[in-house]
Structure 1
């Protein structure tokens, strides 16, 4: 078994676990009478993303081999996920179990990347080929849970994802040995952990505009992950999580052509294209709600490749190219903090508030309310697009 194959298998299982429940949990909660608090299920991931850098910085990076920490965390996170559906009659405990799962799971994203990067050469060429197995794992989970088992509203999703997580935990112990890079007595500060020292070295108007836009755009973006599966189900589309996996399939395509787009258009228009795709997606959802035209829904889903790759992945590449070697990890950590952490948390809470406001005590949104819901986020996204277009002046492209 080659190292690349072992690392690819790790990535496949890593994202299979997350994809196994993340897309379907909203519809599961609606079916279990927890429809008014689904936004809390999508708030636990951002909370974990905020906590994760502290665990990695103060513990994982200095005391233990990365593959061993990866294994222990996956076993714990898998156990919490198996326990989660036992508490559907106690919504707050249900959310707490999800939170405990994500607090254990979220650091494994960084650890899995570390194990991969540290055990391959020519990272720029080989890592994308390993990382794409993660997207395939997410797709496979959606196909199994939703397309084959039709378990969008069943506890089966948690049992499958939890069992695979525990298996991945034990599998991690046979991954290549990856010892900590920092000495146990190495000094590291709070500012290092959250990336503020890196931010000081990246001072420029364009980088500030990029960082603020990335944070702000994640507020309307959070509505998609939480409420799109519920909306798709409400539109009468069967196996919603399976249908939404079409978005990840398009993600694979755009991941492959992203270097070509960078060379041709540069970072500003790549990022603008990603933001614009989000606004168009929400507009398509708003148009489809009262008309019942499901082809518009599918078009919005398929836009995910543009939405994700041209914004999140391109943003990570931009930060990498603007950073020097000594601050690169901190700068990426700062980007994760303001997007997947703070931005997504605020966005999940805002989306939940608007959803419950439009719900007005009913069990489901009307088609008119769904139209209003998606239009709100289309407008929010458009405002950020205008700000970014006016304020961002960096000419960085792939040749720099």
Structure 2
């Protein structure tokens, strides 16, 4: 149960936490799909699509598998959440900075796994910590989480302007300033790892000294937190959410892995890719600001179903051949509806349906599906397999194979939305108000 009164001054602190947490990921993840597979002669690392999938998928899968046993147990049973966050983020930052100097696949895999084990659980822990200190998470958390999106936008604008471009001039596309691509622009993209690592270290220090104390619960009946969390699968709504979160999360992985190179194949300049993708974060902010209202008026079932449906709609439009690149850029606005309506709502729902003594572990369990199983399936196997099925030359997509790829993803999105609407029922509606998070 969240506290009855929101601590004075806590909202700005939590907003800054979200800003930096997602800024770390927003600095390098959108560009990874480009510099990992671009030829070495052009400044990239020259990995194949399969190797790119393994680098993105396997580390996250390993991290999410270990997280409930390590991070969940530590924070729900042994140590204060903010202290665990601090240690994990500082170590993760050092590793990410080191990763920027590696060019071999083996080194990349090793450091990526190490980074993921430390960083991925923090995505869940910051959600849980924030909601523990809010009196009305359903209405307050989405606005705080919106600052994570602001952080993503900020870094996706500032990094290209200061590092990937020169001679900036006004343009119609956010961030409204465009310049010539800097020499060796792809090679300079790899420097995003250094900036991300530095920000992670700063965030770790912030967690240790600024965040409120969030000790483990003293009410735990089960000594092993993840065992208690698994018992939630007895509740239909939780089970349906977790099961259908897998295909939805696979669709999200497809977006993260393929949208950047897809926009490039569609004719968008490399230096404009991060700003173009940031349009999705603008709509995400709007959705998150009004999410509490939407959940109150429409309920979790309707809002989350609509979010899943928007995944299918986005990929359906991507799969229409012959449309101008401006259409593909505009479709990024659907990202806010996809992520905000489904994932942000799911974070809140997981907190509501789980007992206080396993809040961290339950959030991490959801992250396991989102960032663990989904990237493993999509990155390690499905992305490369579909690339071959769709006729990608030498396993690397061209525009024609991308069109076929997105059509398959669209069908999966529409089917997932239909199944969620059919089987999900809000298991918290009949609970006493004081039992809700």
Aligned residues: 393
- Give SS of 2:209's match: coil
Aligned pair 1:257/2:264, yes or no?
A: no
Change (3 A) 1:76 1:161: same
CA distance in structure 1 between the partners assigned to 2:203 and 2:310 by the alignment: 35
CA distance in structure 2 between the partners assigned to 1:148 and 1:33 by the alignment: 25
CA distance in structure 2 between the partners assigned to 1:142 and 1:382 by the alignment: 30
Structure 1 residue ranges (4+ consecutive) displaced by more than 4 angstroms after TM superposition: 117-126, 320-331, 356-361, 393-400
Structure 1 unmatched runs, 5+: none
C-alpha displacement of 1:129: 3.7
CA contact (8 A) 1:77 1:162 kept: yes
CA contact (8 A) 1:213 1:384 kept: yes
Deviations 1:194-227 (A, max 9, x none): x211222x1x3x5544432222332333211111
C-alpha displacement of 1:385: 2.7
CA contact (8 A) 1:118 1:178 kept: no
CA distance in structure 1 between the partners assigned to 2:125 and 2:32 by the alignment: 25
Partner of 2:223: 188
Partner of 2:198: 163
Partner of 1:390: 422
C-alpha displacement of 1:41: 2.8
CA contact (8 A) 1:16 1:134 kept: yes
Aligned pair 1:305/2:312, yes or no?
A: no
Partner of 1:277: 310
CA distance in structure 1 between the partners assigned to 2:197 and 2:317 by the alignment: 35
CA distance in structure 2 between the partners assigned to 1:360 and 1:286 by the alignment: 15
- Cα RMSD between the aligned structures? 3.1
CA distance in structure 2 between the partners assigned to 1:173 and 1:327 by the alignment: 22
From 272, 277, 281, the equivalent of 1:244 is 277
Change (3 A) 1:261 1:214: same
CA distance in structure 1 between the partners assigned to 2:360 and 2:82 by the alignment: 19
Deviations 1:317-366 (A, max 9, x none): 34444455566555444433333322342122312322255465548423
Change (3 A) 1:182 1:393: closer
Aligned pair 1:8/2:15, yes or no?
A: yes
Partner of 2:32: 25
CA contact (8 A) 1:65 1:177 kept: no
CA distance in structure 1 between the partners assigned to 2:339 and 2:262 by the alignment: 20
Change (3 A) 1:278 1:118: closer
Aligned pair 1:233/2:264, yes or no?
A: yes
TM-score by length of 1: 0.86
- Give SS of 2:37's match: helix
From 86, 103, 107, the equivalent of 1:93 is 107
Deviates more, 1:344-353 or 1:371-380: 344-353
Deviations 1:220-260 (A, max 9, x none): 33211111111112222122122101111110101122233
